Amino acid sequence: MNQLELTELLKKAFAEDIGMGDLTTNAIFPDSKLGKGTYTAKADGIVAGLQIIRTGYTLLDPDAKVTFHKQDGDTVKRGDTIAEVKASVRALLTGERVILNLIQHLGGIATATQEVIILLNDDSISVTDTRKTLPGLRSLQKYAVRSGGGSNHRFRLDDGVMIKDNHIKAAGSITKAVERVRAEIGHMVKIEVETESKHQVQEAIKAGVDVIMLDNRTPDEVKELTAIIPDNIIVEVSGGITPDTINGYKDCGADVISLGWLTHSVKALDISFNLK
């Protein structure tokens, strides 16, 4: 987790939430009264992004002290203490919602990631995210995927070439799209092509791409197609795969399964904050 990026994100989040000041807390606590607070798991899961607690409270109270009882990637059970904070009561209460929103969201991502890895039960296949992330939160969300045992796909558009259906339509064919890309990029950049049929898979193989994505394919279709794809080409499967269906892709021959919902549609991990 990039500390500079995290600090800037939290500054913006606090500015959005606090505005001109926390009217409720400031009215009740006009002085710098000290207090203690505890973050507690209210559901079983995997925690992620806990540095948000320390960074967030330090921004609001430079003297804040945080004691962690769990680390990113740790399993928690309902009732487990995650962290304890000593700071001014003003800081504890004013920062509570922003910090909870973020660590609950990241915990939900980490939890869902580990759950699907366990359900897949195939160490030869990496489970990854996609670019279907919330603007401004991508690095944190992708960090949470790693905390849950998953891997990351592209971070940005300049991180690798991915030729998708609309690129193919506009270029005229996979072959033409790959030729144009090769004329522009350096030798360090990999080329991935999204395919929707056996014919497109064969065309991508002939074009010599580095990664072939099999989009919206059943496990049996993936097995059929991976049988004709050379071992030097990475096979990614994506589209419509859920916790209920992912185990069907075990031993399908793919190298990667990418899941967009890991970052855009997960249930938050329930965590509470309470003053002592």
The residues carrying an active-site annotation are 97, 132, 164, 194, 215
d(CA 101, CA 109): 13
Length of the chain, in residues: 276
Tokens representing 248 are 């069907």
Q: Is 144 strand, coil or helix?
A: helix
Q: What is the 3-state secondary structure (H, E, C) of 59-98?
A: HHCCCCEEEECCCCCCEECCCCEEEEEEEEHHHHHHHHHH
Q: Pseudo-torsion of CA 255, 177, 195, 145, nearest 10°?
A: 40
Give the ranges where the chain is alpha helix by DSSP (H). 3-18, 23-28, 51-60, 89-120, 138-147, 165-171, 174-182, 198-207, 219-226, 261-264
List the structure tokens of 65: 């002290």
Contact residues for 225 (Cβ-Cβ < 8 A; gap 6+): 198, 201, 214, 217, 235
d(CA 13, CA 7): 10
